[in-house]
């Protein structure tokens, strides 16, 4: 037996604003009502569908829905929680006569006459979020599903958010196994049992031939939507399309199928996936040479059910290679010049020089990508520029060791092949990243150190310089200050405790080329006043540098902790195995694992879809990116805004 809830509310005229109908004795469900269901609907009821991506408080979209319901009577259906969404509709969105919410606990309530009567008289029906498998189990083949179809046929609006959107397409992901599918698993076996695609639920003409999905953020759900379309096509025997709605967006569809986007965040919108995929093999990862997607933004017009988009926000091409979704023809370059820089560390001229050097590095790498060169070429070119710039602790700007020498470390990795090269303890190699690449491409080894590495560099024609090339006055004075601090500590018999910042100083670059291949590289001058041939994470594959088919990372921070946590590899492992977005994975490692262990620093990360992340936990990190348009974007301090590409 459902609980009885009653609250008295008064409107402007002082009339009773709340009534409560008792549920039928045979069914167990929650029932909440705000307003007066007997009041006359003030406006004209019009057909429409509201497809909300799952975010909160998209009030402009909700007002569109209420207006299409004639600002009359709304019925909310859900299978969890209580009447909260109805309270928001009535009290915050406002402008309607009543909101009645039914919370289903089982399938029995789907035949309850009071619920069916409410659905029949409703001017608008809204399906809340939650677990869509409950909706399928509770409603498919019941009078409730028939009532929803009849409501739309009668020219009345239907809306839904999150699961309430996902279940409206002709084909839908039902989550029938009790889980929530992630893109890597979905693409690893698109026809497999975890992609629980359902049909025969609702029959909405404007969503015929469409598979819907929600909570699109950072495109990390795009892979699973593509897999859903593939499985649905195997069931339908005809081409379908996918429609994914960003978490901060809603698609409002008029009765004629034209739709516009309401967004609560910049660049939020919807993504149309063109189906008609090649037949996929059972128990095998997806393989597709081409997947076309089109974005609908706030300035676009989307046409349903055919999926045409006027004034698209973007048009992107992808491929799926052995279950890995990869962006094609959308080159991207991401760089860092080291974490640990703090406000006040640089004067105006130094800051300007650093920004100029970052921009020059981005342009150098971008020029390679625009010319059709590989991601490896772009990474090498960008790092060469930063190694030549005295503003960064790498190459020309390397810091000094305890004995007054410059000691350089570096590494590079090719995500397409898994090959890597690294070198440590260098004193004469002008651009260490070039040696790392030569080791990767022209030797049987991964890492070389010291004199042997420089002997190999000479054999390969890599430029060597006199060690004095690396001497800069600023770095020399930093060493003198560190030596003085060490001497004072020894004299006072107190341990010298270095801040994490003392271990920072690195440059790095990541690139995604037009063929969808990733690469990563890192180069460093080590730490000021280091002894005993100390080596940090920068030349260690998996610690400071990593690239594979779906993810690339370059770190900058307290190397000992990055080594212990295999930080760069850990970020990419979370993307591959846990299905985390590149942003989630980067935050979890750099702002979770590393500080928990006692370290700090930052990283840059880039995935195969061209999504970049810049996690760091210091006052600043030299960083930047450049995309297909060739416009460099750079930042230094945490307070600097660095808009990311959509």
- Residue 78, number of CB atoms within 10 A of its CB: 25
Instruction: Say which DSSP state 70 is in.
Output: T
Q: Is-contact 379 519, C-beta < 8 A?
A: yes
Binding residues for substrate: 534-537, 556-559
Sign of CA dihedral 140, 141, 144, 145: positive
Output the six-digit token pair for 171. 């084909």
Q: Is-contact 319 290, C-beta < 8 A?
A: yes
Binding residues: 534-537, 556-559
Q: How many angstroms separate the Cα of 445 from the Cα of each of 420, 422, 437?
A: 9, 9, 11
Q: How far apart are CA 506 and CA 339, in angstroms?
A: 8
Q: Is-contact 438 460, C-beta < 8 A?
A: yes
| Residues pairing with 602 in the sheet | 556, 616
Output the six-digit token pair for 628. 């297909």
Q: Is 60 helix (H, G, I), strand (E, B) or coil?
A: helix
Name the H helices within 93-247: 113-121, 132-139, 143-153, 163-166, 183-188, 222-236
- Residue 22, number of CB atoms within 10 A of its CB: 10
* Residues whose CB is less than 8 angstroms from the CB of residue 70 and which lie 6 or more positions away in sequence, other chains included: 41, 42, 43, 44, 45, 46, 123
Q: How far apart are CA 428 and CA 432, in angstroms?
A: 9
For the chain, give percent helix, strand, coil, nearest 5: 30, 30, 40
Q: How far apart are CA 541 and CA 560, in angstroms?
A: 14
Instruction: Say which DSSP state 91 is in.
Output: I
Is 6 exposed, middle or buried (CB count within 10 Å of its CB: 0-12, 13-18, 19+)?
A: exposed
Choose among 392, 404, 325: nearest CA to 355. Answer: 392
Q: How far apart are CA 19 and CA 88, in angstroms?
A: 17
State the DSSP string of 408-443: EEEEEEETTT--EEEEEEESSBS-HHHHHHHHHHHS
Q: Is-contact 167 220, C-beta < 8 A?
A: no
Output the six-digit token pair for 572. 């990419």
Map tokens 């059709």 to a residue.
Answer: 372
Choose among 340, 359, 356, 360: nearest CA to 348. Answer: 356
- Which of the residues 101, 271, 506, 618 is marked catalytic? 506
* Residues whose CB is less than 8 angstroms from the CB of residue 592 and which lie 6 or more positions away in sequence, other chains included: none
Q: How many angstroms separate the Cα of 419 from the Cα of each of 115, 291, 319, 519, 545?
A: 63, 28, 22, 10, 12
506: annotated active-site residue: yes
Output the six-digit token pair for 606. 């880039």
Enzyme catalytic residues: 506
């Amino acid at each position: 037996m459902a609980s009885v809830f009653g609250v008295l509310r008064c409107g402007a005229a002082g009339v009773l604003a709340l009534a409560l109908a008792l549920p039928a004795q045979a069914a167990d469900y929650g029932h909440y009502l705000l307003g007066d269901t007997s009041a006359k609907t003030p406006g004209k009821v019009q057909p429409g569908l509201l497809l909300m991506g799952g975010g909160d408080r998209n009030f402009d979209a909700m007002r569109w829905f209420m207006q299409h319901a004639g600002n009359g009577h709304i019925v909310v259906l859900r299978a969890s929680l209580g009447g909260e969404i109805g309270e928001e509709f009535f009290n915050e969105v406002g402008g309607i006569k009543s909101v009645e919410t039914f919370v289903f606990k089982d399938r029995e309530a789907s035949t309850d006459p009071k619920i069916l009567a409410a659905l029949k008289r409703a001017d608008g029906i809204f399906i809340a979020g939650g677990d869509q498998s409950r909706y399928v189990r509770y409603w498919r083949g019941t009078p409730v599903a028939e009532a929803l179809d009849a409501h739309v046929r009668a020219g009345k609006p239907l809306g839904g958010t999150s699961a309430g959107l996902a279940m409206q397409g002709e084909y839908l992901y039902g989550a029938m196994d009790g889980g929530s599918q992630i893109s890597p698993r979905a693409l690893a076996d698109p026809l497999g049992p975890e992609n629980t695609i359902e049909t025969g639920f609702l029959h909405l003409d404007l969503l015929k031939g469409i598979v819907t999905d929600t909570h699109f953020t950072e495109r990390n759900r795009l892979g699973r939507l593509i897999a859903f379309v593939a499985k649905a096509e195997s069931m339908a025997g005809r081409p379908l399309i996918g429609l994914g709605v960003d978490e901060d967006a809603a698609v409002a569809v008029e009765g004629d199928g034209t739709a516009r986007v309401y967004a609560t965040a910049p660049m939020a919108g919807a993504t149309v996936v063109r189906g008609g995929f090649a037949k996929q093999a059972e128990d095998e990862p997806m393989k597709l040479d081409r997947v076309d997607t089109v974005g609908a933004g706030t300035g676009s017009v989307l046409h349903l059910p055919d999926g045409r988009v006027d004034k698209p926000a973007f048009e992107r091409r992808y491929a799926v290679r052995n279950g890995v979704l990869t962006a094609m023809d959308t080159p991207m370059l991401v760089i860092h010049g080291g974490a640990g820089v703090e406000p006040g560390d640089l004067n105006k001229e130094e800051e300007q020089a650093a920004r100029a050097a970052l921009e020059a590095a981005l342009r150098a790498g971008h020029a390679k990508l625009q010319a059709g060169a590989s991601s490896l070429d772009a990474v090498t070119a960008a790092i060469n520029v930063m190694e030549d710039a005295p503003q960064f602790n790498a190459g020309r700007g390397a810091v000094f060791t305890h004995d007054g020498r410059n000691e350089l470390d570096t590494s590079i990795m090719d995500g397409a092949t898994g090959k890597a090269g690294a070198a440590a303890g260098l004193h004469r190699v002008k651009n260490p990243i070039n040696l790392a690449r030569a080791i990767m491409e022209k030797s049987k080894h991964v890492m070389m150190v010291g004199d042997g590495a420089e002997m190999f560099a000479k054999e390969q024609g890599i430029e060597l310089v006199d060690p004095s090339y690396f001497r800069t006055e600023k770095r020399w004075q930093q060493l003198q200050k560190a030596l003085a601090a060490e001497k004072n500590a020894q004299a006072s018999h107190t341990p010298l405790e270095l801040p994490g910042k003392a271990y920072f100083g690195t440059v790095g670059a990541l690139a995604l080329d037009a063929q969808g291949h990733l690469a990563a590289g890192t180069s460093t001058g080590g730490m000021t006043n280091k002894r005993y041939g100390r080596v940090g994470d920068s030349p260690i594959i998996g610690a400071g540098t990593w690239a594979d088919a779906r993810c690339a990372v370059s770190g900058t921070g307290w190397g000992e902790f990055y080594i212990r946590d295999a930080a760069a590899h850990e970020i990419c492992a979370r993307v591959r195995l846990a299905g985390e977005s590149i942003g989630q994975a980067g935050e979890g490692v750099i702002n979770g694992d590393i500080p928990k262990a006692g370290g700090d620093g930052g990283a840059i990360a880039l995935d195969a879809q061209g999504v970049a992340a810049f996690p760091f936990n210091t006052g600043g990190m030299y960083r930047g990116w450049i995309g297909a348009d060739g416009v460099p974007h750079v930042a230094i301090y945490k307070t600097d805004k660095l808009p990311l590409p959509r």
